[in-house]
Amino acid sequence: MNIILLGPPGAGKGTQAQRLQEKHGLVQLSTGDMLRAAVASGSEIGRKAKAIMEAGDLVPDSVVVQIISERLDDPDTAPGVILDGFPRTTAQAEALDAMLAEKGLNLDAVVELTVDEGILVNRIEKRAAETGGARADDNVETLRNRLAVYREQTAPIVPYYNGKGMLKRVDGMAAIETVTAALEETLGLA
Ligand code: ADP
């Protein structure tokens, strides 16, 4: 089973993807995590992505499309993947469709975690405090830009998948366990 988790920064995609990975053996593919690893390693991709990520902007589509395409070729992803943070633009969604077709893979569901934007800012401030500022982009100023980028560049992929009849919605504001249970129900994993 291959699924996409959609939702703005702080919606809980990463938390839920990890829980689904642990409980159901699906593999979380977080482009944010992969890019942060690239930055930490000082690779060429990381050097290019660093400033873009710190500003809360999007790295070029071609970069993330290649990263995901390569990961999907790794045998450990065969049980299925949870895409977390990808696709983030309509061009990435179209590239994903093309690569899945080419690799003979299916997309089973796209789930949007719906949120209250006012609460998101509090969540991210809390995450920044808890992780001791481990993420350079977890501050209020960058968060506002990440939310604007989400609205402008990522939100349009919601109607893209809705038009294909693939979109499902889960309330991302409920308690962590409740959101997981709703996801499992929606995905037929319960
Ligand atoms: P968020 O908490 O905003 O969901 P992520 O960890 O998913 O954060 O992503 C952090 C940053 O990594 C983004 O703000 C962006 O700069 C970059 N990034 C992650 N995924 C993508 C993508 N699919 N396309 C472009 N940039 C991306």
Mean pLDDT across the stretch 94-106? 98
Domain count, the chain: 1
Q: Indicate which residue's Cα is closest to atom 9 of ligand 1.
A: 32
Q: What is the CATH number of the domain that holds 27?
A: 3.40.50.300
164 within a domain of the structure (yes/no): yes
- Closest-CA residue, ligand 1 atom 10, reads 32
Among 41-45, 50-54, 119-123, 145-149, name the one with the lowest average pLDDT: 119-123
Cα 13 to middle of ligand 1, angstroms: 12
The number of residues making up the chain comes to 190
Stretch 184-188: mean pLDDT: 97
Residue 149, in any domain of the structure? no
Residue 11: other Cβ atoms inside 10 A: 23
Closest-CA residue, ligand 1 atom 26, reads 58
Is the pLDDT at 90 greater than 90? The verdict is: yes
Residue 31 pLDDT exceeds 90 = yes
Q: Which residues line ligand 1 (CB under 6 A)?
A: 9, 31-32, 35, 52-53, 56-59, 64, 85-86, 88, 92, 137, 146
How many other C-beta atoms are found inside a 10 Å radius of the C-beta of residue 144? 12
Give the distance (Å) from ligand 1 centre to CA of residue 102.
25
Residue 114 predicted with pLDDT over 90:
yes
- How large is the average pLDDT for residues 9-32? 96
In whole angstroms, what is the distance from residue 80 CA to residue 64 CA?
Answer: 19
Segments forming the whole domain that contains residue 44: 3-115+156-187
Contact of 189 with 3, CB cutoff 8 Å: no
Classify residue 50: in a domain, yes or no. Answer: yes
DSSP track, 114-183? E--HHHHHHHHHHHHHHTTT-STT-SHHHHHHHHHHIIIIITTHHHHHHHTT-EEEEETTS-HHHHHHHH
For residue 185, report the distance from its CA to the centre of ligand 1, in Å: 27
- Inside any domain, residue 146: no
Task: Output the pLDDT for position 131.
Answer: 78
In testing the pocket of ligand 1, which one of 4, 16, 58, 144 has its CB within 8 Å of the most ligand atoms? Answer: 58
Average pLDDT over the chain, rounded to whole? 94
Of 3-7, 63-67, 143-147, which gets the smallest average pLDDT?
A: 143-147
Mutation test residue for ligand 1: of 88, 123, 153, the one with most atoms within 8 Å of CB: 88
pLDDT of 143 higher than 90? no
Q: Is the pLDDT of residue 24 over 80?
A: yes
**Per-residue buried b or exposed e for 114-142, using 16+ beta carbons within 10 Å of the residue's own CB:** ebeeeebeebbeebbeeeeeebebbeeeb
Percent of the chain with pLDDT over 90: 83
Residue 190: pLDDT band with limits 50, 70, 90? confident
